[in-house]
Structure 1
């Protein structure tokens, strides 16, 4: 069983990632937590935890971990320290412990930050670029606007979609988990929206030409 560290495990998308990993035959989730109440929440579910604060030191969080999903976010409250520098801290820890793959939850627009979300998108772009040159094997997943609708299990996926749209958090979480496969979207970024293609099929078929 591969141990998967989930940063942002207490968030809306992160919790869904944890639940999906629990239901697989070959992954074991490890939730990154910051306090005892968060720890208890996961231990009550039988989920392993590790203490780490993305705004400080996370160098201990990747020991014994095979792969990482970064699904953390500050909700616009501290984009520099969490979304950007927090991601960099975890990337550095992952390099030190030779993590096999790092899956980054980014955002559509991170390749060209502008508009009212420019500060957030710039932070995501900086984190994505840091991962790109880290030497780690990675996938960067850039969804459109997230909603809390029931997941359909079907997406539209391309390197660049050139359109706006939404996608349920469940389908984003499923895409992140499917991207853990070392050979899927290796060292590539891609965008996703709700679509017509089964998630596993779309992710497996993705190749940048």
Structure 2
């Protein structure tokens, strides 16, 4: 499976690129915002393309047309203003979903945020971010795509343990970014995750087992 990673220079994106680049089952195409980011990836043998999520649906579609799946892990960052958050985390996601439908990419994994589906549990200090994630997720659910929405808890930079807790509703928790990336890669072909959404935090179950059994 050829996987387009949107947001490949982000912290989860970098883990995804590394894992997919070593995979025997998948190949990877990285979408980044800056030419220097693409140059670094290309030196590592990673197919890369430079494009902003403020580009048109047609421009994004042209990048996705030779891929089998898309992972959307782009984000404006917690320090950006509400306008930029809506442009990237909401409209950028919506355009990528439209682009996938336009060129027949069926598989789509969205990286969201824990409890994005429950307004009453949103972090008030990140409300614009949660609004964007909530509505982007809903757009994906109502698309024609075979989706999985992964809602990780607080993100950590420590090494992954390979053990997680997956459920449709988890109040809070933390997880290393490496474990999020490994969960995404394992979910690509795991049919139990098709057209489902889940919260994701560190736990005591191996990733593939957790994906099969939740």
TM-score category by the smaller chain?
A: over 0.9
CA drift at 1:194? 0.4
Aligned residues: 204
Q: How does 1:99-114 map to 2 (within 5 A)?
A: 99-113=105-119, 114=122
CA drift at 1:116? 1.8
Q: TM-score, normalised by structure 1?
A: 0.94
Q: Please, which of 89, 95, 105 is the counterpart of residue 95 of structure 2?
A: 89
Aligned partner of 1:65 in structure 2 is 67
- CA deviations on 1:107-155 (whole Å, 9 max, x unpaired) are 0121123322211111000100000011100000001100111100000
Contact between 1:106 and 1:143, CA under 8 Å: does it hold in 2? yes
Q: TM-score, normalised by structure 2?
A: 0.92
Moved over 3 A (4+): none
Aligned partner of 1:80 in structure 2 is 86
**Structure with greater proportional helix content:** 2
Alpha-carbon distance between aligned partners in 2 of 1:35 and 1:148, rounded to the nearest angstrom: 23
Question: 3-state SS of the aligned residue for 2:211?
Answer: helix
Contact between 2:35 and 2:50, CA under 8 Å: does it hold in 1? no
Q: How does 1:28-47 map to 2 (within 5 A)?
A: 28-47=27-46
Alpha-carbon distance between aligned partners in 2 of 1:20 and 1:119, rounded to the nearest angstrom: 31
Aligned partner of 2:203 in structure 1 is 195
The CA RMSD measured in Å over matched residues stands at: 1.1
Structure 2: runs of 5 or more not aligned: none
